[in-house]
Structure 1
Amino acid sequence: MRNFRPGLYSGGAWFSALLAAIIATPVIAQTVPNFRTLKLAPGFSSTQGKTNGYTGGTFSLSAISNRDRDGKMCIGFADSNPDFIIELDKDFSRLQVLVNSGGKDTTLVIRGPNKTIRCGDDTGKSKDASIDDQQWPSGKYEVWVGAFEPGVKFNYTLSVKEK
């Protein structure tokens, strides 16, 4: 406040009002996905559950969690922001989330309501990641699609299927 000149600010009333407004304004943290949000309700179509993206970050997905709820390792590198948000309108008994990069070495981490973590890596003989799991309660799910190596860019299609 060394350079503060009271006469210049009309007694500082506007500054006090601005400061009070800033202090009184709540900070709302919202997660914004890198690509898009998928809003899904039971019976959603295959086109509603499909979207595209690309890998390329250097954030270690193990920083979200070392292991998921089933003890599977969470690995890979992505952007620190989730790539997608999946909003489930209702509970789903079973969903499958698949990455198709043409067989590149991708990984998958999903953080759901109550911070439930699901992780996926290779699918069968393919290096593409997937998660096939039960008990998906309604709510928001943050989805990271990673690459096994940091900074590697792969284009992919993400598909969510109701089982």
Structure 2
Amino acid sequence: MKKIMLLAVASLMMAGPAFAQSAHMTANYGEIRLSAGFNPDPYRVEMHAGGGVNGAHLPGSCIGSISEAPDFEVTYSAGSLPLVFRTVSRADTTLIINGPDGRWYCDDDSFGDGDAEVRFNRPQSGTYDVWVGVFGGETAPATLLITETP
């Protein structure tokens, strides 16, 4: 019986790390509360994008290397305007967002020049946890833009 228990413990220890992406962790670069019509628009967050987690493990078409914790958290009070998240970087960045509905939204190059964009035409009020990833597994300086201007 002891051998079986030791084998079970050893096999658990040798297994690869579980995917531990968590929208409930404290965001790496802070958080903000925004309401429809916020100013300044766009709201800018400077950061280092990327991390040691493969975003492809998430549901949907997510890609890019990201951190375990979200990079930024936005608690948003919606109005009639769209809510748009964009990245700007010299690196090829990606966006992964866990929306207030619990769904995952992902993009790689929609903003052009290797930058990403996720647009919510009818955003919900609630918390948006945002990861800014990089394609290729490194980290890179990046700016997250949050805007209501399409």
Smaller-chain TM-score range?
0.7 to 0.9
Could you tell me which of 61, 86, 89 is aligned with 1:98? Answer: 86
Could you tell me which of 64, 75, 96 is aligned with 1:87? Answer: 75
Task: Give the deviation of 1:119 after TM superposition.
Answer: 0.8
Could you tell me which of 124, 128, 142 is aligned with 1:156? Answer: 142
Q: Distance in 1 between matches of 2:29 and 2:52?
A: 17
Mark the runs of 5 or more structure 1 residues left unpaired by the alignment.
1-28, 68-72
Match of 1:41 in 2: 35
Match of 2:104 in 1: 117
Match of 1:131 in 2: 118
Cα contact 2:111–2:117 (8 A) shared by 1: no
Cα contact 1:92–1:137 (8 A) shared by 2: no
What does residue range 45-64 of structure 1 map to in structure 2 within 5 Å? 45-46=39-40, 49-64=43-58
TM-score normalised by L of structure 2: 0.76
1:14-47: CA deviation from partner (whole Å, max 9, x where unpaired): xxxxxxxxxxxxxxx9420011102111111136
Residues 51 and 124 of structure 1: CA distance in aligned 2, closer, same or farther (over 3 Å): closer
Mark the runs of 5 or more structure 2 residues left unpaired by the alignment.
1-22
Q: Say whether 1:147 aligns with 2:141.
A: no
Higher helix residue share? 1
Residues 92 and 110 of structure 1: CA distance in aligned 2, closer, same or farther (over 3 Å): farther
Residues 124 and 32 of structure 1: CA distance in aligned 2, closer, same or farther (over 3 Å): closer
Q: Secondary structure at the match of 2:122?
A: strand
Q: Secondary structure at the match of 1:62?
A: helix
Task: Give the deviation of 1:133 after TM superposition.
Answer: 2.8
Q: Say whether 1:77 aligns with 2:65.
A: yes
1:95-117: CA deviation from partner (whole Å, max 9, x where unpaired): 21110113x21100000112122
Cα contact 1:84–1:142 (8 A) shared by 2: yes
Percent identity for Structure 1 against Structure 2: 30
Task: Give the deviation of 1:74 after TM superposition.
Answer: 0.8
Q: Distance in 2 between matches of 1:84 and 1:118?
A: 15
Letter in 1 for 2:49: T
Cα contact 2:43–2:147 (8 A) shared by 1: yes
Paired positions, count: 127
1:110-161: CA deviation from partner (whole Å, max 9, x where unpaired): 00112122111113541011112312111111100001112x1210111111
